[in-house]
Structure 1
């Protein structure tokens, strides 16, 4: 039976998730007309598209073997899944916020019985109870920011990446409940039964992430200038050096470097005698 990966059908993390799989070599066969299920170029892997909020439960229940979704949604559903990787995008914080004119400036100012509006009732309730606050939770499906201004709630909890929307709506942050980012998750039973292919997916994705911001520099240099050139090249584990098959004493040097180092490094290498310099993008580092 194929390994099934659940991806968000829409929203801010949908395209990055699809692109990440594609870079890892698990691209969709038909990405122009997205359906509920899609085959990939890997014969043993398929993809299902659903709401990001449903992915933790689908993975926990075994409807999908793996999934890509936010930590905030995983914690909200409070389900048993294996978090395999932090994918380092979609970073946001679930925060407690009040109107700017509110006298509430810290958790200590929140009284029991306070009404809190949120899209994350379970996370919010657990957080408040852990801090000794017995609040009334009102679940909203959107537009949480307006709740304090129409008498629905005294406080809100909301997901924010920059805080700009809260400021625009004259709200101030009192505390942070959770720092979230997008995770690669797996069903524990699937991991036991399909661990080999799950680890292959994980390795492919990890390779794409490790390659982000990296470039491969390739160059030729005379052997008598080799020491100076290799000392100037940072590299992940040091440069790779090999002899060029030619009548001259030419050495080839390769190294993986951070992208932000490339401009200065290339000019420094040229001054040290390097030539035929190539800067090559890297898709994956395994």
Structure 2
């Protein structure tokens, strides 16, 4: 039973998609050549490189069993798919924007006589309908920011992560249409017929996500200092404590901690009596 996973062939989410598969144990054998297809280190799992905007339709139609793409593209295509998990990267917003010097400062300033340009005409049309508006929508495939300044439109809808590009192009955000991020998706038929392998892939990827910015901290502690160490030790489920075979009454303590806790915690643990402190990365948490 084979599984095909579609990932973006280029763009800002391509490399993070490959990286997360690598960390999940599904390294690509043909990644250096970036062909249309690549085998992975699992004999029953192959990867298809495709345009991110095509992936929702490929998954829905069963061309592939799984895919990695943005929620914005999924919703724009109105794809009937199953979201397996959020991949926690590629956060962006689809926003409504107008020129800085225009009198359009909110959705209430918009009239049906205006024109709006977008790479996301379906999401834009749905948004306008919800607001009781019926503007002309001009579909563009790039350089949306320029549309109001060359007479193409009065407004735009566009993706932004920080808003910097919009500000550089003298545009102001007047509303947020959609919060988007990158999703792992499948279609209903594949999930019903290949559930075991799809669930295994999803579990491995979730394990990578759960391990992100986590560290395993290990140390030796004299029994008499254990209570003091436990007081300063954060952990997912409480520290693991085991006996150390030595001449002293010593125990080994280990716990999973957040990366941003390491600096302060190591010093607190040392002051509480811990020694031989090790901090190591974690690949996955299942």
Task: Give the TM-score category using the shorter length.
Answer: over 0.9
CA distance in 1: counterparts of 2:160 and 2:260, whole angstroms: 29
Superimposed CA distance per residue, residues 175-211 of structure 1 (whole angstroms, 9 cap, x where no aligned partner) = 1111111111111110111111111111111111111
Aligned to 1:161: 161
Q: Name the counterpart of 1:281.
A: 281
State the distance in 1 between where 2:181 and 2:238 align: 32
Tell me the TM-score normalized by structure 1: 0.98
Equivalent position of 1:223 in the other structure: 223
Q: 1:105 is matched with which residue?
A: 105
Kindly state the Cα deviation for residue 164 of structure 1 after the two structures are TM-superposed: 0.8
State how far apart, in whole Å, the 2-side matches of 1:269 and 1:147 are: 58
Alignment of 1:59-208 (within 5 A): 59-208=59-208
**Per-residue deviation, 1:247:** 2.9
Q: How many Å apart are 1:223 and its aligned residue? A: 1.3
Offset at residue 29 of structure 1 (A): 1.3
> Secondary structure in 2 aligned to 1:177?
strand
Residue 101 of structure 1, CA deviation: 1.4
Secondary structure class of the residue paired with 1:217: strand
Structure 1: unaligned runs, 5 residues or longer = none
For the Cα contact (< 8 Å) 1:8–1:69, is it kept in 2? yes
Contact 1:56–1:67 at 8 Å: present in 2 too? yes
Task: Return the alpha-carbon distance in structure 2 between the equivalents of residues 248 and 164 of structure 1.
Answer: 59
Number of residue-to-residue matches in the alignment: 286
What is the CA RMSD across the aligned residues, in angstroms? 0.9
Q: Deviations over 1:37-67 (max 9, x none)?
A: 1100111111000000000000000011110
Q: Following TM superposition, by how much is the alpha carbon of 1:273 offset from its aligned partner in structure 2, in angstroms?
A: 1.4
Q: Unpaired segments of 5 or more residues in structure 2?
A: none
Contact 1:94 1:179 in 2 (8 A): yes
Q: Describe the SS at the equivalent of 1:262.
A: helix
How far is the alpha carbon of 1:172 from its aligned partner? 0.9
Matched, 1:237 2:237: yes
| Alpha-carbon distance, 1:30 to partner | 2.2
Asked if 2 retains the 8 angstrom alpha-carbon contact of 1:20 and 1:205, the reply is: yes
Runs of 4+ in 1 over 6 A off after TM superposition: none
Q: Give the equivalent residue in structure 1 for 2:28.
A: 28
